[in-house]
């Protein structure tokens, strides 16, 4: 084999090997979204709202466009802010996760607010929360997250 032929052979092999790999990357439909460390705080009987915390990261830019859970009538993304020296919460609007970013929902900051709780959240049980994300191409994907309930005061 002459050096030139050898080079060609190598380039051809490289193309043959890479082609299916690239095809599978471009056709993979959705960002790699991961939800970790999810938890909710227990509520007392009669309490109408609850809070869920978690860390959300994504390989590509996505937005959290829909949140559902069986234990509440509605779910909103809330944030905390100071108002006249008092911590208050307000609706944050759609949560956006940039490519490679991790967004942390934690006490004192962002959280998922469960509105219209159908029953108290008891320590030790798990809620199911369905998070629907949408990417830049308007493709949607739903993650089902199991959320353990921690005792009050933890």
CB distance 147 to 40 below 8 Å: yes
Decide: is 113 part of the binding site for Cu ion (CB under 5 A): yes
Decide: is 112 part of the binding site for Cu ion (CB under 5 A): no
Binders of Cu ion: how many residues, by CB under 5 A? 3
Per-position x/- string for 45-84, each x denoting binding to Cu ion as judged by CB under 5 A, each - no binding: ---------------------------------x------
CB distance 68 to 87 below 8 Å: no
Among 147, 133, 117, which residue's Cα sits nearest to residue 61?
133
Residues 67 and 85: their CA atoms lie apart, in Å, by 31
- Decide whether 95 or 113 has the Cβ nearer to Cu ion: 113
- Decide whether 84 or 91 has the Cβ nearer to Cu ion: 91
Residues 94 and 133: their CA atoms lie apart, in Å, by 10
| Contacting residue, 89, 103, 117, 123, with Cu ion by CB under 5 A | 89
CB of 51 to Cu ion, least distance (A): 6
Decide: is 41 part of the binding site for Cu ion (CB under 5 A): no
Counts for the chain of helices (H) and strands (E), in that order: 1, 10
Binding site for Cu ion (CB under 5 A): 78, 89, 113
């Amino acid at each position: 084999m002459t050096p030139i032929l050898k080079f060609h052979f190598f380039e051809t092999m490289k193309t043959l090997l890479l082609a299916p790999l690239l095809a599978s990357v471009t056709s993979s439909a959705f960002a790699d979204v991961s939800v970790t460390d999810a938890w909710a705080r227990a509520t007392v009987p009669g309490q109408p709202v609850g809070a869920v915390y978690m860390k959300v990261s994504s390989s590509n830019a996505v937005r959290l466009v829909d949140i559902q859970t069986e234990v509440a009538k509605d779910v909103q993304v809330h944030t905390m802010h100071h108002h006249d020296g008092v911590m208050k919460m307000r609706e944050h609007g759609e949560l956006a996760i940039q490519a490679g970013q991790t967004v942390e929902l934690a006490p004192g900051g962002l959280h998922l607010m469960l509105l219209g709780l159908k029953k108290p959240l008891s320590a030790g049980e798990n809620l199911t929360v369905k998070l629907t994300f949408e990417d830049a191409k308007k493709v949607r994907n739903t993650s089902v997250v199991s959320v353990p309930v921690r005792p009050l005061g933890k």
